[in-house]
A = this chain, B = another copy of it.
Amino acid sequence: MLSTVTMKSYSLAEVAQHNTRSSCWVVIHNKVYNVTDFLPEHPGGAQIILKYAGKDATGVYDPIHPPDALEKNLPMEKHLGPLNDDAAGAEALAQESRPRTKDELRVEAALKQRLPLHRILSLTDMEDEAKKVLSHKAWSYYSSASDDEITKIENAKAFSRFFFKPRVMRPVSRCDPSTTILGYKSRIPVFVSGAALAKLGHPLGEENITRGVASAPLIQMVSSNASLSYEQIISVASPNQVLFFQLYKHADNSIAEKRVREIERLGYKAIFLTVDAVVPGNRERDIKSPWVLEDAERRSTDAPRSSEDIERDEEEGNTFGTAGALIVNDDRDMTWETTIPWLRSLTKLPIVVKGIQCVEDAILAANAGVDGILLSNHGGRQLEYSLPPLEVLYQIRRRSPQVFDKLEVYIDGGIQRGTDIMKALCLGAKAVGLGRPFLYAQSAYGAAGVAKITRILERELITAMQLAGAVSVSDLTPELVERVDWQPTIRSRL
């Protein structure tokens, strides 16, 4: 408190002088920061910061950083102080009078034309609405996947190969789809799988999800890369609400330890250790997103480029898109022998390995004594042509069903319908995770949207269970499903 008294305030002109790699200041929320020394450490690369050297960077900073990012990463002596009043006013004015881009105008109009929520009947309806109101950047980040996005499609398509053998003449008037996940009650066998950067889609970000799943309740897994602080998120949870934490382990064990201790202290109930994202996937649509916008704004009268300009390859520091930057410092050398014992030694929280992609690793995980595994290929965002999680689940069922006795098995990727959930449970999954659908729902309708899709999934699952002759998750056995040998029609909006 006292320190602020002594703080100098800055004019825009002063700030503007520090616009080089050797002296780089930026303004965020009317505060001036000296980020010169931080440039080489910035996970997103120096380039993106230098674009705003000597200027206000609030607009690009906000949606992808939790508010405590600066505190955590920038030494206090680099927090130079506030803009002076003139500067702040000028900045506000500039911001206000800034002409809107075509994309911003599109989003503004779309927000007014959203369907009333009661017309949203399915997760696909929700995605359709979200697509309309999301900025191109957010849509690209949320919806994109690796390379040609085959894996993302195949994740969903895998469900179409499993048909039901429904049983009739069984009493189903009382049907309860609830279950437990790591011992915690869940209204339906569904949880929110870690999905980063919710603020890209809605100003309230991950809070929407926390509030939206409260009434069910469903369990929310919060990503290390959330756009709110872990504390902010859990602080809006209702008293008995359970949150898990998706850990991206920092390469530096001491930094990683700090994060584990923090989330344990905050009350998160389990750790999902992410193992399928040691390097960033090649999400081309995400990387191309700024160019698409640039082209949209470009005047057709712009002069053609010279051959030299065209052929000079300006490789930028960060070609990973929004996503890649987030994991630049993560541990790429984890092993079963070292990482799991290290984590066990730090915390009593249950440990789930997130990102198992074959039977062999499922067995190794069981042997390593973890509490659960999440069969996942990161929604198709990491290794292109990784087997669909449902196929891995099916292979475990056929070749190593003992795995199901040793730990809880979850899957995520491609789930859109109650029948998808039921298929996964029939094959042995304890619960399924959904990521993108929750991001879409909160983007389009905030917490109300999140609550809506939990109700949709519950309704769809109950209907499916009753029509299959099942009244509880224990009735969902492998005998109810059959993998067919033909190529079924796939959903038109897959």
A: residues with CB less than 8 A from B are: 111-119, 121-122, 124, 147-148, 150, 153-154, 157, 160-173, 275-276, 278-282, 284, 287-288, 291, 304-305, 307, 309-316, 319, 332-336, 339, 353, 355-361, 364, 377, 382-387, 391, 417, 419, 423, 445-446, 448-449, 451-452, 455, 459-460, 463-464, 466-468, 479, 482, 484-492
Number of copies of this protein chain within its complex: 4
Told that A114-B310, A166-B357, A169-B339 touch, could you supply 6 new A-B pairs with CB distance under 8 A? A111-B307, A150-B488, A164-B386, A165-B387, A167-B357, A169-B275
Measured between alpha carbons, how far is A111 from B170 in the docked complex, in Å? 46
User: Chain B nearest CB: distance from A173 CB in Å?
Assistant: 4
Query: Which residues of chain B are within 8 angstroms of A386 by Cβ–Cβ distance?
Result: 163-164, 166, 467
Residues on B with beta carbons closer than 8 Å to the beta carbon of A463: 279-282
List residues of chain B with CB within 8 A of the CB of A466: 278-279, 332
Chain B's closest residue to A485 (CB) is: B485
- Return the chain B residue nearest A358 by Cβ: B165
Whole-angstrom distance between the Cβ of A415 and the nearest chain B Cβ: 13
Nearest CB in chain B: distance from A434 CB, A: 17
21 A-B pairs with CB atoms under 8 Å apart are: A111-B307, A112-B305, A117-B310, A117-B313, A117-B314, A118-B312, A121-B284, A148-B417, A160-B385, A163-B387, A168-B355, A168-B361, A169-B364, A171-B332, A172-B333, A276-B467, A278-B467, A282-B459, A313-B448, A313-B451, A332-B466
Measured CB to CB, the nearest residue on chain B to A383 is: B467
**Considering residues A119, A358, A487, which has the most beta carbons from chain B within 10 angstroms of its beta carbon?**
A358
Q: Within 8 Å CB of A356, what residues of B?
A: 168
CB-based contact B312/A419 at 8 Å: no
Q: Quick check: A167 and B304 within 8 Å, CB to CB?
A: no
In the bound complex, residues from chain B placing their C-beta under 8 Å from that of A310 are 114-117, 445
Interface centre among A121, A359, A452 (most CB of B within 10 A): A121
